[in-house]
Amino acid sequence: MALPMHNNMPHHVAIVMDGNGRWAAKRFLPRIAGHKQGVAALRRCVKACLDRGIGVLTVFAFSSENWSRPPDEVSGLMELLARAVVSEVPELQDAGVQLHFVGDRLRLSGNMQDALAAAESSTVSNSGLVLNVCFNYGGRWDIAQAAQKVAHSGQAMTEHALDRALALAHVPDPDLLIRTGGELRISNFLLWQAAYAELHFTDKLWPEFDELSLDEAIAVFQQRERRFGQTPDQIIAAQTRGLTLPSDESIKAA
Ligand code: IPE
Ligand code: IPE
Ligand code: MG
């Protein structure tokens, strides 16, 4: 789902939080120390998004492919998630954050599935920032599970029906997609939803990402002209008529 932009701030920011392992290696620390520092960076980023009035933050915490890491790193990441769910929820609750875990939960332990569901339901009526934590998530998994849902429902397999069946159907598409850690790839993140996201890649490693790094990404975003398939002249004409910027949704509807 896409939403017309009401101002020049991104409404939905998505982040591939990459570079934890290299942050740790630079300090001769085990990789898990980098992941712990990554949780602290996420806490800081949530606060920065709240301060800036950003509506939705979606972060990539564990990909479908990350199961292929060494078993001790995988179990360390599972433990970190389990602990973070317990330790972070009260503060998220106070800040009015609505928490969602996005991804295939069936491969997670029963205890973990229960903890994620409990954390979600305790924040469901919050109306502040929507925080989507993508865990055991892959863009291909998401499209496949959406297609299965649509097929089972008997609806026609249209773009709209698929869009509504995706795991992020509760939020508009991301406006700005940031990847830290210097790699120039998507790594199976929001393959469908990032169709018209502005991309921003930074060499900064995720544990070092701070408020200034977020402001820098927002400033770059604000310099971009989002055209959604239209010509620059059409954009200028719409702006002088005082219309909001187009969105892919409004153009689809035209
Ligand atoms: C991202 O950091 C966190 C996860 C993928 C879980 P990495 O662990 O990929 O860090 P680098 O890329 O090895 O530095
Ligand atoms: C992407 O980072 C996944 C997350 C940040 C959770 P990776 O480190 O797994 O990506 P690749 O392997 O470099 O593509
Ligand atoms: Mg990485």
Name the amino acid, one letter, at 251: I
Cα–Cα distance between 36 and 18 in angstroms, integer? 13
Q: Whole-model pTM?
A: 0.94
| Full residue range of the structural domain in which residue 219 is found | 12-253
Across 1-15, 58-72, 81-95, least confident range: 1-15
What pLDDT is recorded for position 4?
40
Closest CA to 190 of 16, 66, 42: 16
Residue nearest to atom 1 of ligand 2 (CA): 187
Number of domains in the chain: 1
For ligand 1, mutation pick of 15, 16, 17, 22 (most atoms within 8 Å of CB):
22
Residue nearest to atom 12 of ligand 2 (CA): 187
Q: Does residue 48 fall inside a structural domain?
A: yes
Read off the pLDDT of residues 178-217 as tens digits, 9 standing for 90 and up.
999 999 999 999 999 999 999 999 999 999 999 999 999 9
Ligand that lies nearest to the alpha carbon of residue 35, given by its number in the listed order: 1
CATH number at residue 62: 3.40.1180.10
Q: Does residue 2 fall inside a structural domain?
A: no
Name the amino acid, one letter, at 228: F
Percent of the chain whose predicted confidence (pLDDT) is above 90: 91
Q: Does residue 212 fall inside a structural domain?
A: yes
Catalytic residues: 18, 66
> In angstroms, what is the span from residue 70 Cα to ligand 2's centroid?
14
Measured CA angle at 25 (ends 133, 136), to 5 deg: 25
Instruction: Supply 140's token pair.
Output: 């291909």
What pLDDT is recorded for position 245?
58
What pLDDT is recorded for position 7?
60
Run of H or E including 178: strand 176-179
What pLDDT is recorded for position 5?
43
Q: Judge if the beta carbon of residue 172 lies within 6 A of ligand 1.
A: no
Q: Does residue 5 fall inside a structural domain?
A: no
Q: Does residue 152 fall inside a structural domain?
A: yes
Q: Judge if the beta carbon of residue 17 lies within 6 A of ligand 1.
A: yes
pLDDT at 89 over 80: yes
What pLDDT is recorded for position 242?
79
Q: Does residue 3 fall inside a structural domain?
A: no
Q: Does residue 54 fall inside a structural domain?
A: yes
Q: Judge if the beta carbon of residue 81 lies within 6 A of ligand 2.
A: no
Read off the pLDDT of residues 24-50 as tens digits, 9 standing for 90 and up.
999 999 999 999 999 999 999 999 999
Q: Judge if the beta carbon of residue 63 lies within 6 A of ligand 2.
A: yes
What pLDDT is recorded for position 173?
98
Q: What ligand 1 atom has the least distance to the C-alpha of 35?
A: 3
Ligand that lies nearest to the alpha carbon of residue 179, given by its number in the listed order: 2
